Every structure is written in C-alpha cells, then in structure tokens.
Amino acid sequence: MKLDWLKEELTGIKNKGLYRRFSIIESAQTPRIIRGGKELILLSSNNYLGLTTHPEVKKAAIKAVEDYGSGAGGSRLTTGNIGLYESLEERIARFKDTEDALVFSTGYMANIGIISAIMNIGDLILSDELNHASIIDGCRLSRADVKIYTHGDASCIEKILRTSKHRKKLIVTDGVFSMDGDIAPLPEIVELGEKYDAMVMVDDAHATGVLGKHCRGTCDYFNIEVDINMGTLSKALASMGGYAAGNEELIDFLSNRARSFIYSTALPPPAIAAAKAAIDIVEKENPAKKLWQNVAVYKKGLTDMGMVINSQTQIIPIMTGEARTTMEAAAELERLGVFAQGIRPPTVPEGKGRIRTSLMATHSGQDIMDALDAIMVIKEKFNL
C-alpha cells in the first residue's frame, strides 16, 4: 500500500519511453564483445584507449591483489591509505603537471566532493547547461547561488560575472562534453576567470589520457592552466575513481573538507595499481595516436554518408530525436551487429535523443567499416 506510488511512477516512466534496463555484456570491454551470446562491435565504451585489457594494466592489478588483497578496509583517513595511493597521487600530479592530486572513489564523488567543499551559501557558481550530472549535484549540495550559462557561451558567462557581487565565484565546465563530444572554450573561460577573479574548474573525465600534446587533457590541448583539474580514472585510464589535481593548498583543503572523500571507503588496491599502470602506458606508448586515427576514419565515413558532425573528439553522437526513435534505432543497430547506447532524457534535453557512439584505439579498420555499414542502414530506415 505505502509503496503503490512506485508502480504508478514506473508506469509513467514507461509511457514516456524513458524506462531503462541494464545491458548485460558477457565479455571484457574489447572492440568486439559478446552480448546475448552474439558477437557485437562495441561502439559506446569509455575505455577509449582499450587499456582495461592491456597486459601491463592487468598484471599491475593482479599484483596489487596479491600484495594488498581485494579491498581497502577503510577510508583514506583511517586504515585504507595503503602506500599505492601516495604513488598514484604523485603520478597523477606529475601527469597533469600540477603540484598535487587527491583521489576519490569515483568521478561522481570527486565532483560532488570538490564543489560542495569549496563553495558555500553566498558564493556563486557558473555552470554550463550541458555539464555532467555529478557537477549539477555538486552545485546543489554546495547551496551556493548557481547560474546556468548557455552551452559554451563565454559572452553569457561574462554577462553574469559583470553584475555579480558575490565574494567567491567558480566557473565549472566539462572539458569534453560527455554526450556531444565538443570541447569547452577554456581559453576564453580562463581569461574571464582572471578578469573577474573567478576560480575555474574543468572536468576532464573524457579528455584525460586522450587530448592534448601529452594526452593530459583539455588544459594540455589549449596549453593553459586552470585552478581545479578534475578527472576520472574510470574511462581512458581503464580503472575506477576520480581525482582533483591542483596546488598544494587546494589538495590539503579538499583532504580536510570534501565529505565524499572523508566519509567513504578508499579504492580497492587493484583499481589504484591499474590506474597508475595506465598512466605509465599513456606516456610510454601514446595509444591516443591510434585513437585519433580511428576517429578521423570514422568521422569521414559519417560525413560521406551525409551526416553532420559537431564533435571534435572520440565521442560522436548520432542524433535520433525522440526517445522512442532513439531506442528503436539503437535496437536495430544491435540487430545489425553494433552495440551503442541510446541516450534519452533526462541525460540529454527533451527531443535531443541520440545514439552515443565512441571510438577506441583498439578498434580495427574492419570494426569501423562494419560499424559504418550498420549506421548507414539505420540512417535510411529512421531518416536520421
């Protein structure tokens, strides 16, 4: 009786075509996966560099289990702070070219922890309208005033900053937008941060390991610096976790004030070791080079079939519009041998459903050609 409302809510979600089910994958995150007993091309993974199955990454994870066991057994400030952590944070700071870094258990927890720790009632946050949900939740938790600016629009940011009387201000943006694959106009944002004394935070979840001369992310791409570099270890870095990178005071402060850091169990040893090994490989082997070659081939294939591509990166959405069309097109794509996630509201705005395709460095030329053939079929069938 008390829980009857759940049934009604679920019916409402189903009627709007927004009901979500788990997709079960029966293999590793490789370019070809097994799902429902069938081999499919994986065209939606965040394992951009294919490092989750790299022998060195697997070896490091296995050794960490052998040396330290499967779990951390406590939070970082209690018993969970094994030595591997210090070396990972040192490695991240070196990789991101910052003074220091702090690892959180997920990217989501990093965003809510960082933003709610540094911003408070009476402060002002300027947040891009397409920022990731974890940034939005961090803004809400902070209880600061939040102004949403038009996607990627520096003039909109300036208009807000010009009239702000807030003492502390923060501009926060995804570096690479997770559902569109475009890059934030960071040089303009950093300039505005300087001009109006506003801190700048970039979420490099989808840029770390792939973008820029040294694959460090968006700041490396533009050759600029921001106050707070946030990123994840869960995508190109083939593991689990999030991080804040910046100056020593920032990291010291977050270690003392970020609640999602303090009150949660530390990452398990294999996750820490795998992330560190992945950073070593990014620097030693530059797997992103092959990723960008694959992106170029794939984009050319799509534009040759008449599709308009706004993405600048490895995330390339195929716009499908309504939620129902999105899911039908994704299902058809799967029947044709390609697994890519259909994305509906609330993850994207109403009417802007899409199939989120993304490339991996480990995709072969044949994988890409086969995927393009299947996309051509759904393009015709659904008039995309």
Ligand X SMILES: Cc1ncc(COP(=O)(O)O)c(C=O)c1O
Active site residues: 178, 206, 235
Answer yes or no whether residue 208 interacts with ligand X by CB under 6 A.
Answer: no
Q: Which is nearer to ligand X, 179 or 302 (CB)?
A: 179
Pick from 357, 102, 117: nearest CA to 259: 117
Q: Which is nearer to ligand X, 127 or 372 (CB)?
A: 127
CB atoms within 10 A of CB 42: 24
Among positions 114-133, residues that touch ligand X (CB under 6 A) are: 132
Answer yes or no whether residue 317 interacts with ligand X by CB under 6 A.
Answer: no
Pick from 103, 82, 83, 81: nearest CA to 92: 103
**What's the token pair of residue 302?**
């799509």
**What's the token pair of residue 198?**
């506003």
**What's the token pair of residue 86?**
């210090």
- Binding-site member from 100, 123, 174, 182 for ligand X (CB under 6 A): 174
Answer yes or no whether residue 134 interacts with ligand X by CB under 6 A.
Answer: yes
**What is the nearest approach in angstroms of ligand X to the Cβ of residue 152?**
14
CB atoms within 10 A of CB 360: 26
Q: Which is nearer to ligand X, 111 or 314 (CB)?
A: 111
Among positions 261-300, residues that touch ligand X (CB under 6 A) are: none
Yes or no: say if 33 and 40 are a contact pair by the CB < 8 Å rule: yes
Q: Cα–Cα distance between 29 and 363 in angstroms, integer?
A: 11
Q: Which is nearer to ligand X, 84 or 207 (CB)?
A: 207
**What's the token pair of residue 308?**
């308009």
- Binding-site member from 234, 260, 320, 326 for ligand X (CB under 6 A): 234
Answer yes or no whether residue 47 interacts with ligand X by CB under 6 A.
Answer: no
**What is the nearest approach in angstroms of ligand X to the Cβ of residue 332?**
25
Residues in the chain: 384
Using CA atoms, how far residue 253 sits from 31, 61, 116, 244, in Å, is 41, 30, 12, 11
- Binding-site member from 138, 242, 270, 317 for ligand X (CB under 6 A): 242
Answer yes or no whether residue 320 interacts with ligand X by CB under 6 A.
Answer: no
**What is the nearest approach in angstroms of ligand X to the Cβ of residue 235?**
7
Per-residue binding string, ligand X, 98-117, x by CB under 6 A, is --------xxx--x------
Q: What is the DSSP letter of 120?
A: -
**What is the nearest approach in angstroms of ligand X to the Cβ of residue 135?**
7
**What's the token pair of residue 11?**
């019916």
Q: Which is nearer to ligand X, 243 or 298 (CB)?
A: 243
Q: Cα–Cα distance between 236 and 217 in angstroms, integer?
A: 11
Q: Which is nearer to ligand X, 203 or 370 (CB)?
A: 203
Q: Cα–Cα distance between 268 and 105 in angstroms, integer?
A: 9
Q: Which residues bind ligand X (CB under 6 A)?
A: 106-108, 111, 132, 134, 174, 178, 203, 205-206, 232, 234, 242
